[in-house]
Amino acid sequence: MSPKKNLTHEILVRFLYDTLNPYRKPEITVGSSASKMVYDDITEEKEFTVTQKEVETLYASIDAYTLDSAIIYDRHYFEIPLQVSKWSFRKPIKYNDYANDIQYEIGSPSRTYTILAADYVINNESELVKGEFYTEYPYIDSLKDIGTSLIDFISTTSELVTLKITSAKSRKRDEYIRLSVAMSYEVSFNGQYSCQPAFTFDELFSKPPLPQVDRSADNISYPRRVYNSSLVNHYSQALQGANPASKYLSFYHIIEHFFDEIAIEDAREALREALTKTGFSLDNKGHVDLVLSKIRDKLSLDSDNSLRGSKESNSILLTIRKFITPESLIDKLSIDEKEYYGGHKVPFADTPALDFNNDEVFHSLLSRRIYQTRNSIVHSKESNSSRYRPNQDRGALTRELPLVRAIAEIIIEATSERATL
């Protein structure tokens, strides 16, 4: 959707006047070609100005880029909004990939992007959208750190956070998309809060605001790998909110993403083994029926005649075997978590404790624990004695989150690729 390009200096200053603290309104002055606002945050006061020429220049700067809904980019620059709390990035953080001559910056939007986003928000009739873009009480470290332009004020004090990627090498849109997904996963994984790119403004402003959690970004780095975007979305979804059942199922979706693919490959291998077995004959009806029986046990057809694993319990076992080892899981868990999972069942699901020292049973016990916990959440009929009861089982389910999250992270890493830039 293209910007309407109908904002004026007066519309911008009145938007701020209408939005900011109703009990401490800023002083505004509207002229023929420029508007001013004096903002007082109690500790200091500062004047901000915007001219009509500045607005028109910024609108023209959008045309220098390719506009793809909520993304602006060219061969050397890419900017996309992030669904992440502004609190964590109230001061911009930069990450330099010197080997590939790429710079990542997460923080307030550029001036060009600010006018693009403001155009969408101010022209939108939804008060919810306006409220998610701008609050009555914006957080400001210091007015001295903000330029004198009203556009700079909006950029710094709005709730909008963008990822900017600058590359010395010419790159295509799809490359930048992969890098933005990878960077958002780095933030989610290391920063411990949900972060994902929003490709449209509707997507950006249609979700509930994320909880503002003050976390350190010291461990975040530029991405060295690229990740499956579907898995990253599930992972980010799992970090949102406080409902342990929703979080558990989001992590579980990462595991089940590969169920059909792995089940089909397992069936192929079983077919290869059977057809190449010494003494097998296609002319022997018993031999052929035995092969068909094995395949029937492993695969089924869904409504659109696509092959899929016939038993989810078997599919999760195959997936766990493919991606998880006792060592890789132990590396992800604390000592207390390892001891808990090795010595306790899930009370409401009656799942087995894990045995990290026995390779023969480890995968079976782990897959059963994950699968039966998932079933207890999903199948909550009164007749199900192993159903999850939110009020009384919340604590027990919360203790299972580090386990399913560790598995999800191992799978995301295992299915990622080294960033070849």
Confidence of residue 241 (pLDDT cuts 50, 70, 90): low
Read off the amino acid at residue 274.
A
Model confidence pLDDT, tens digit, residues 83-119: 887 777 878 889 999 999 999 999 999 999 999 999 9
User: Residue 223 — pLDDT band, cuts 50, 70, 90?
Assistant: confident
Per-residue three-class SS string for the chain: CCCCCCCCHHHHHHHHHHHCCCCCCCEEEECCCEEEEEEECCCCEEEEEEEHHHHHHHHHHHCCCEEECCEEECCCEEEEEEECCHHHHCCCEEEEECCCCEEEEEECCCHHHHHHHHHHHHCCCCHHHHHHHCCCCCCCCCHHHCCCEHHHHHHHHCCCEEEEEEECCCCCHHHHHHHHHHHHHHHHHHHCCCCEECCCHHHHHHCCCCCCCCCCCCCCCCCCEECCHHHHHHHHHHCCCCCHHHHHHHHHHHHHCCHHHHHHHHHHHHHHHHHHCCCCCCCCHHHHHHHHHHHHHHEEECCCCCEEECCHHHHHHHHHHHHCCHHHHHHHCCHHHHHHHHHCCCCCCCCCCCCCCCHHHHHHHHHHHHHHHHHHHHCCCCCCCCCCCHHHHHHHHHCCHHHHHHHHHHHHHHCCEECCC
Section 282-287 average pLDDT:
80
Whole-structure pTM value = 0.69
Mean pLDDT of 58-69: 96
Residue 365 has pLDDT above 90, yes or no: yes
Q: What is the CA radius of gyration of the chain?
A: 27
| pLDDT computed for residue 369 by the predictor | 96
Residue 376: CB atoms within 10 A of its CB come to 24
pLDDT reported for residue 330: 96
Domain boundaries, the chain: 9-230, 255-418
pLDDT at residue 49 is higher than 60: yes
Q: What confidence tens digit (pLDDT) does each residue in 120-178 have?
A: 999 998 887 888 888 887 878 788 889 999 999 999 999 999 999 999 999 999 999 99
Can you tell me the distance from the alpha carbon of 118 to that of 153, in angstroms, rounded to the nearest whole number?
A: 12
Q: What is the pLDDT of residues 312-332, one digit of tens each?
A: 888 899 999 999 999 999 999
206 pLDDT band, cuts 50/70/90, is low
